[in-house]
Structure 1
Amino acid sequence: MWKNLEERFIELKTLYSSDKNFLDNKSLSINQFLDIAVKCCDSLQEIHSKNIIHKDIKPHNILINTDGTVIKITDFGISTFLNENLNQIYQKATLEGTLPYISPEQTGRVNISLDQRADLYSLGITFYELLTTERPFKSEDPLELIHAHIAKQASRPSKHNPKIPKILDAIILKLMSKPPQERYQSVSGLKEDLVYLRENIEKEGNSISFELGKKDFLNKFQVPEKLYGREKEIELLLSSFQKITEGYVEIASIEGVSGIGKSVLVNEVQKPILEKRGYFLTGKCEQFKRDVPYSVFIQAFQGLFTEFLAESDDEIQKKKKEILSAIGGNAKVVTELFPLLELVVGEQPELEKLSPEANQNRFHLVFSKLLKALATKNRPIVLFLDDMQWIDLASLELLKYLYIK
């Protein structure tokens, strides 16, 4: 009985903790890598066949036995089932996954729905690290890493490991393409290329070349998310954004009947804004919150202050100094409205009680100074307020003040 049990169980360790420590092994041959990569594809293909997005592919979640013949992917803590009638899910506006390995669409900062191609991006980063012993994007600053996933192109793996053939460079970088439609569309398509490379590299050497993705295709029909026919409007919005980066203030109004695609149009320009390190804040005016003062501003700015809190202690202290320098001893006016801001600048002293009108004037003045401190040429702020027909009166008055000033 015990003998049978021993035959059934295999000791597996992660790529990091295995005896060979594959991620610190500069002697790993290309053939050894290809064997491991193909087996990773087999494991991920099995997961995707169950309509699952893993969402946390990384070396720590890949188990391997001593001789590298068995590989399994583990840890389904944040995995998601795809609806059989839908090929995508809408990503939350929060970050899920392990930051050095997440796809752009998992950052919650780009207008792209999530599907199984997100796992292929993370697998690309894992392969990159396995081949080079380095991650493509390195930073202690979480926001720098997010920006890298969204906007920066990784250097070729062969820059760090000259043994890597150009065709393998191309495979890894294709996996790590920012737009999902430019990546491999399926694990099976990726595996086909890896197997072909493994079978032919001995004969053709590192100069081997072939067309990638010849047998790569989506298993199900997918509606493209690209917006068509709005090039002129997109150009106008991006032109306004360019002026903002030069120190100007711009206001744009997008009008149209319900369902015509106003929100989609604005979301289309979100990625170019983020690529230039801009802050893209969104707030949705709600019909049943018209009696809640500044509700749309609270919604929009809480995301910004959450980002601040994710930065390093040095950056938080720097922002604290800049903010308090701008608004002086009146910080309590804004920290009462934005509790997350208080976590950045610390607890503030109470202020003198004023009449309602004087109190509103003081808030307008302090908030405008806060906005000037936060928005710079290097980090401009774009504020998108949706469904303006439901805006609360206090928010409308604040908008008027900011426009005039």
Structure 2
Amino acid sequence: QAVRVLHLIAEAMYSVHEKGLVHHDLKSANILFNDQSDYQVKVLDFGLSHLVGAQGDRMAGTLAYMAPELTGMLNKIIDHRADLYSLGILLFEMLTGQLPFQANDPAILIHQHVASRPPRPAELDVEIPSALEAILFKLLSKDPEDRYRTTQGLLKDLDRYRRLCTEKDADAMNGFQPGEDDHWDSLPRENPFINRTREINHIQEIIAESTESGRSALILLEGARGIGKTRLMNAIHDRSKVEDGIVWFHSPRNEVSDIHYKALSSLFRNIIQFLKSKPAEEQTKLVQFLKKTFGRRFALVLELVPEMSNWLEQTDSTTATQNWQAEDYLSIYAAYIRIVAEYQKRLIVFIDDFSNVESSSAKVLLEANSKLKRSPVTFVFAYNHARLSDVQKDLLAEYEDAKGVHRVYLESLGEADCAALVQELFSGKLDQAARLIEPLYSACGGNPAILRQIIQSLVDARLVFYRDARWQYRYAEVLERIKQWDMHSTGDLLRNYTARDVHILRLGSVFERAFTLDALKTLCEQIPFQAQDETDSAANSAEEARNTLLTVLDRALLDSLLAVDSRRLYSFRDYGLKASLRRDLPSDIRMRAHGLIARFLEGNVLPDSPEAIYDIAYHREQSGDFQATFHDYVNAARLTDNGAFTNSQAMVYYDLAVKTLDQLPEEAVDAETQFRIRYAALRHESIQHPRRRSLVEKAERMERWVGHNKAHRLQLLAIRANLNFINGNKEEMFRLGEELLALGSEPDDFPYVVETYIQLATVPSHKTYAERAELLKNGIEMALELKRLDLMSVALTIGVNMLCYLTRFKEAEDLINSVSRRIRMNKGEALFGKVIEVFPRAILAAEKGDFEAFHNTTRHIDTEIYEIGHTARRMLMSHIARTYTMVGQISEALQLFDKLLNTDEDTTQQGERALALHGRTLLAFRMNDPEGALEYIEQAMHHLQARPDAYMEGLFSVLAARAYMDL
């Protein structure tokens, strides 16, 4: 019955969605259902409905049924998929008789929609099939991209489900995959967001650093039109919104950009939302505080935000309009941001796009960053350089080299990313898609908006069409049209350039990243233009040649073909144009150009710059000189290697060195060097991407280069043991570990075996706690002798945890004191010794239930905590969250647990996750939510399959029994 009713509602919504409408307020109270004769459903109350893409109050609809993107917490586009989420709530309600998320506090209910997983209906009613549950969870996905693409896709799944129920096909029901027939029969309204992970992580690191250091930062996000700046800003905004602090997002409109201080006024209006988020009595106090802080300039605040007068008494004597100067705007803006940032711990200001910000606001915004150096505020300005006014360009040039300013250039998508975008646009239903990828990529140059335009033109021309449940195309005609687009776009850009000018640009396109005037001049001298007639004759003198180059480059800058930075480095703005120009060079000339560039760079760049050495290696590789390429990549890797195998750039260089090795004859490089480079590459990859299955095979293949070198044998055994553990082969891990310990018994072997000693001690196994404690003791002694304080932190932490599990608290305290004394004997290591000591002491206090001691221990370690490493930091956060739970600080506990458990990282690599899940389970009990407790217990048991721990398994079993008893 529930499926039948949902099908009728979905049919009604399909008609609504086809007209470009979104209901916004689907709920049980808005559904009329008649089951007396034939089933009839009517959907009521379209008072909140919007056209798709229309702007309006994002906080619309009834909270219990509201999609996450409607809460205002996520900056996602609002379309028909918001209604699909509400349909999921309705289905859950029909199946179970209750709502998935329930709370009296609206803030907690919003938080649940955005961050909490709904309970499994099957836990409330065992008769609910897994296939129907799969449909439900797809509807209730937090990200609209993970829900059904179309309402029709939902209808097809419901039809398939009902058919399988009739046929009683248990196998098909158990293997039911929702969304298999969910696809667009026209292109989606917007491009899917594809692979900007590197840029997102980089910007988030800058924001995190600004927050942690309490210093301001300005991020200048530049990219061509249609490259994805807005989507990137939205993605970062959404991730930032669910964390501590305040986030402002402003999209200034071009048509109103001539009004003085318009953008500043729009940003200031965020103060109203900030005030409304506080209790009523606090709102008035804050307004009075702002009035006192701004003094006479508070009148300017009222001009910018007239609504603030609602918090003032009618007798308030604040003066009206005055003749305000630029410094007045700057003063109140900087002061206000400082207040908000310090009050809320951080503030992030997004502006998309900066080219629409009028010059008066632009100057204030940029100047504010320099005045707010000691405030945790981050500005993120996105823009297309070609659309900046001369005034805006001058302003950015004035500030771009200042401290705390970071330039992020959004590059074109790679070919693999464009292939993924094509698959998403066609719902994975495009026949023989691979044949079209290369020509499409060449034509669009990696610009997702242009790729969309090309594909849309093919669909509009019926060269690509939907038939027989597949997207199909007329290959020859499609290929010809794509080629015409490619030639047309490149031809249009270069139509007014002479053959000599194009030759210069072609040589510039050979440079890997950027080039200077002198570098291009040298290349042009070695590969001169061959004039076909007198009108295109080459320059005769060096001065003429230089002036010719400058003329071409200046024109290309004006036409936005090139960009130039403060160091006078030129680069192409459009990868497609660059690739097209490079392809037009004959291959022999192109290879010769690469060789000439490598020689020029070798004589003109810093010898200790890894980026410069990489450029040399790249050009040597393209010229065919693989032997020199190998040595360059190795040199670049060594310059970036931090010794801890955690530098991602070093990993890239080592990987390139190995790939070059594979192209050389084996006898070209000796076995010793082969092993060292391959081991370094493997070690970097294993630390940064430990779950890659290919790593185990790579390690096994390295046996051929070990020979009789004992150190190499120990290194290989250690990394093989670790990789086998990570990939779940614990038996092989223990076998290799025991072999390593038997071989590495001499003091000279300690550097190679110390990590394995600690690993064998910390990993739960058949060994008794006494045996593991003995191994741990040996590992600690080795780490102390080798001054491996990083390992000491891990060993001491695990040791204290292990002893606390056994309630041997005195022994744990003695261990901490002993290690602390040994470390403090060396004055140079005293600070780090303090950090190592603080963390285990905090754990000991938490496990003993001494919450006052725990808070005293953790209260003053805000700076030291960032020295102990990512995993240790998260483990301490887990203990802090558990302590909040024990003392009844529910809101604080929820916030911390959300940060710990809602992560995109590989959870099997998180040693602290079981601890966090234990704390979250206890919090569920504290909130009288045994169903939620069982959900977290299930997550924990799944996690413990990858990271077995008998103690934690027993603990969660006891908690599961308690949850069932409560139910």
**TM-score between both structures, scaled by the size of structure 2:** 0.33
- Are positions 1:170 and 2:134 aligned together? yes
Per the TM alignment, residue 345 of structure 1 is displaced from its structure 2 partner at its CA by: 6.3
Match of 2:184 in 1: 218
- Are positions 1:397 and 2:364 aligned together? yes
**Alpha-carbon distance in structure 2 between the residues aligned to 1:223 and 1:353:** 47
Cα deviation, 1:94-152, whole Å, max 9, x if unaligned, reads 22433432334445664443433232111111222233343333455656555544444
Match of 1:373 in 2: 339
- Are positions 1:63 and 2:32 aligned together? yes
Give the secondary-structure state (helix, strand or coil) at the position aligned to 1:34. Answer: helix
Give the secondary-structure state (helix, strand or coil) at the position aligned to 2:337. Answer: helix
**Alpha-carbon distance in structure 2 between the residues aligned to 1:53 and 1:352:** 45
**Alpha-carbon distance in structure 2 between the residues aligned to 1:198 and 1:382:** 49
Q: Which amino acid in 2 is paired with 1:124?
A: G
Cα deviation, 1:30-55, whole Å, max 9, x if unaligned, reads xx323322332333334445554333
Please say if residues 94 and 107 of structure 1, whose CA atoms lie closer than 8 Å, have aligned partners that are also in contact.
no
**Alpha-carbon distance in structure 1 between the residues aligned to 2:187 and 2:319:** 62
Q: Structure 1 residues 50, 222: closer, same or farther in 2, change over 3 A?
A: closer
Q: Structure 1 residues 130, 395: closer, same or farther in 2, change over 3 A?
A: same
Per the TM alignment, residue 71 of structure 1 is displaced from its structure 2 partner at its CA by: 1.5
Please say if residues 121 and 177 of structure 1, whose CA atoms lie closer than 8 Å, have aligned partners that are also in contact.
yes
Higher mean displacement: 247-256 or 377-386: 377-386
Give the secondary-structure state (helix, strand or coil) at the position aligned to 2:26. Answer: coil
Per the TM alignment, residue 332 of structure 1 is displaced from its structure 2 partner at its CA by: 4.5
Please say if residues 333 and 368 of structure 2, whose CA atoms lie closer than 8 Å, have aligned partners that are also in contact.
no
Per the TM alignment, residue 304 of structure 1 is displaced from its structure 2 partner at its CA by: 5.1
Match of 1:40 in 2: 9
**Alpha-carbon distance in structure 2 between the residues aligned to 1:348 and 1:337:** 20
Q: Which amino acid in 2 is paired with 1:182?
A: D
- Are positions 1:92 and 2:51 aligned together? no
1:280 to 226, 248, 258: 248
Please say if residues 282 and 300 of structure 1, whose CA atoms lie closer than 8 Å, have aligned partners that are also in contact.
yes
Please say if residues 274 and 280 of structure 1, whose CA atoms lie closer than 8 Å, have aligned partners that are also in contact.
no
- Are positions 1:271 and 2:241 aligned together? no
Question: Which structure has greater helix proportion?
Answer: 2
Superposition map of 1:3-402 within 5 A:
32-49=1-18, 52-67=21-36, 69-80=39-50, 89-95=52-58, 96-107=60-71, 110-139=74-103, 145-161=109-125, 163-198=127-162, 200=164, 203=168, 209=174, 210-222=176-188, 225-228=191-194, 230-246=196-212, 247-256=214-223, 260-276=227-243, 278-284=246-252, 286=254, 289-292=257-260, 294-303=261-270, 305-306=272-273, 308-309=275-276, 311=277, 315-322=279-286, 324-325=288-289, 328=292, 330=295, 331-343=298-310, 349-351=316-318, 364-375=330-341, 380-385=346-351, 386-388=353-355, 390-393=357-360, 396-397=363-364, 399-402=366-369
Please say if residues 137 and 148 of structure 1, whose CA atoms lie closer than 8 Å, have aligned partners that are also in contact.
yes
Cα deviation, 1:321-373, whole Å, max 9, x if unaligned, reads 3454465363555233212333356668335899968x766665554443233
Q: Structure 1 residues 400, 219: closer, same or farther in 2, change over 3 A?
A: same
Per the TM alignment, residue 298 of structure 1 is displaced from its structure 2 partner at its CA by: 1.4
Give the secondary-structure state (helix, strand or coil) at the position aligned to 2:222. Answer: coil
Please say if residues 45 and 187 of structure 1, whose CA atoms lie closer than 8 Å, have aligned partners that are also in contact.
yes
**Alpha-carbon distance in structure 2 between the residues aligned to 1:59 and 1:134:** 11
Cα deviation, 1:46-101, whole Å, max 9, x if unaligned, reads 444555433332212211115482212223334456xxxxxxx4241522433432
**Alpha-carbon distance in structure 2 between the residues aligned to 1:144 and 1:380:** 22
* Equivalent pairs, count: 362
**Alpha-carbon distance in structure 1 between the residues aligned to 2:108 and 2:313:** 24
Please say if residues 299 and 321 of structure 2, whose CA atoms lie closer than 8 Å, have aligned partners that are also in contact.
no
Q: Structure 1 residues 110, 97: closer, same or farther in 2, change over 3 A?
A: same
Per the TM alignment, residue 397 of structure 1 is displaced from its structure 2 partner at its CA by: 3.4
**Alpha-carbon distance in structure 2 between the residues aligned to 1:75 and 1:353:** 44
**Alpha-carbon distance in structure 2 between the residues aligned to 1:159 and 1:197:** 20
RMSD: 3.9
**Alpha-carbon distance in structure 2 between the residues aligned to 1:160 and 1:178:** 22
Cα deviation, 1:278-314, whole Å, max 9, x if unaligned, reads 423215275754452x3212112324524644x5xx6
**Alpha-carbon distance in structure 2 between the residues aligned to 1:355 and 1:43:** 57
**Alpha-carbon distance in structure 1 between the residues aligned to 2:291 and 2:279:** 18
Q: Which amino acid in 2 is paired with 1:266?
A: M
Q: Which amino acid in 2 is paired with 1:280?
A: W
**Alpha-carbon distance in structure 2 between the residues aligned to 1:204 and 1:328:** 73
Per the TM alignment, residue 270 of structure 1 is displaced from its structure 2 partner at its CA by: 1.8
Please say if residues 245 and 377 of structure 1, whose CA atoms lie closer than 8 Å, have aligned partners that are also in contact.
no
Percent identity at matched positions? 26
**Alpha-carbon distance in structure 2 between the residues aligned to 1:339 and 1:72:** 43
Please say if residues 334 and 371 of structure 2, whose CA atoms lie closer than 8 Å, have aligned partners that are also in contact.
no
Give the secondary-structure state (helix, strand or coil) at the position aligned to 1:252. Answer: strand
List alignment gaps of at least 5 residues for structure 1. Answer: 1-31, 82-88
Q: Kindly name which structure, 1 or 2, has the bigger radius of gyration based on alpha carbons.
A: 2
Please say if residues 112 and 225 of structure 1, whose CA atoms lie closer than 8 Å, have aligned partners that are also in contact.
no
Higher mean displacement: 214-223 or 144-153: 144-153
Q: Structure 1 residues 320, 208: closer, same or farther in 2, change over 3 A?
A: farther
Cα deviation, 1:229-281, whole Å, max 9, x if unaligned, reads 64433222211222344344221122355555444432332211123254232
Q: Structure 1 residues 255, 80: closer, same or farther in 2, change over 3 A?
A: closer
Q: Structure 1 residues 59, 143: closer, same or farther in 2, change over 3 A?
A: same
**TM-score between both structures, scaled by the size of structure 1:** 0.72
Please say if residues 111 and 267 of structure 1, whose CA atoms lie closer than 8 Å, have aligned partners that are also in contact.
yes
Per the TM alignment, residue 379 of structure 1 is displaced from its structure 2 partner at its CA by: 6.4
**Alpha-carbon distance in structure 2 between the residues aligned to 1:47 and 1:397:** 46
Q: Structure 1 residues 399, 50: closer, same or farther in 2, change over 3 A?
A: closer
Give the secondary-structure state (helix, strand or coil) at the position aligned to 2:348. Answer: strand
Match of 1:27 in 2: none
Q: Structure 1 residues 62, 245: closer, same or farther in 2, change over 3 A?
A: farther
Please say if residues 67 and 82 of structure 2, whose CA atoms lie closer than 8 Å, have aligned partners that are also in contact.
yes
Q: Structure 1 residues 355, 58: closer, same or farther in 2, change over 3 A?
A: closer
